[in-house]
């Protein structure tokens, strides 16, 4: 008697001489990932500035409706924020004490003296990298982070507590508590 013949199974597919080219989607994935990460870091920074802005406003409520002096804004708002991590932007590549600064024009100013709080810069992303930072060079906005840390520009907190990104420095009038202007071009 002869042994039954078993059907043969197909073997592995032949190996091509060249490796396949990655799909365009696979090539674009790192770029899309980096872009998504940059936007997430900007949102985190915006959240940090929102918490700092709320801390500044709570400080003012407890101190006769006055903002802290510029040289003490960080130490003055820290008890209200209660998280040192909010003073560090995730996109700030340097090891720093603080990624943010205060508009010195608001120092010890009464909240009632700000006629347009939604148009007055209170805190912003700074390149000074120290606690209690404010504009030291005599020109408002001179200590802005440059170049911008985010794809949509630097984040700014305003005296009413809202936060907004601009691809350039807001108008000079936005740094002066009593001034008013229309929204700057280039705002996001």
pLDDT in tens, 43-97: 888 999 999 999 999 999 999 999 999 999 999 999 999 999 999 998 887 767 8
pLDDT in tens, 134-174: 865 456 666 777 777 888 888 999 999 999 988 766 666 67
* Cα first-last separation, the chain: 86
In sequence order, which residues have a C-beta less than 8 Å from that of residue 50 and are 6 or more positions away? 157, 161, 162, 163
In this prediction the pTM is 0.73
Rounded CA separation 152/177 (Å): 25
Residue 81: HSE in the Cβ half-sphere, 13 Å Cα cutoff: 23
List, edge to edge, every strand of the sheet that includes 154-158.
100-102, 121-125, 154-158, 163-166
147 cis-preceded (ω within 30 degrees of 0): yes
């Amino acid at each position: 008697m002869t042994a039954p013949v078993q059907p043969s199974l197909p073997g592995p597919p032949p190996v091509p001489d060249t490796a396949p080219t990655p799909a365009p989607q696979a090539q674009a994935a790192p770029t899309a990932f980096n872009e998504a990460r940059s936007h997430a870091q900007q949102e985190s920074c915006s959240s940090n500035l929102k918490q700092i802005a709320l801390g500044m406003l709570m400080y003012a409520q407890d101190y006769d409706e006055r903002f802290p002096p510029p040289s003490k804004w960080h130490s003055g708002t820290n008890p209200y924020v209660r998280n040192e991590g909010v003073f560090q932007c995730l996109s700030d590549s340097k090891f720093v004490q603080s990624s943010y600064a205060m508009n010195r024009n608001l120092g010890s100013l009464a909240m009632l003296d700000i006629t347009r709080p939604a148009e007055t810069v209170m805190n912003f992303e700074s390149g000074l990298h120290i606690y209690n930072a404010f504009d030291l060079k005599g020109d408002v906005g001179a200590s802005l982070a440059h170049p911008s840390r985010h794809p949509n520009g630097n984040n700014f907190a305003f005296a009413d507590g809202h936060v907004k990104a601009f691809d350039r420095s807001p108008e000079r009038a936005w740094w002066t508590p009593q001034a008013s202007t229309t929204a700057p071009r280039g705002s996001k």
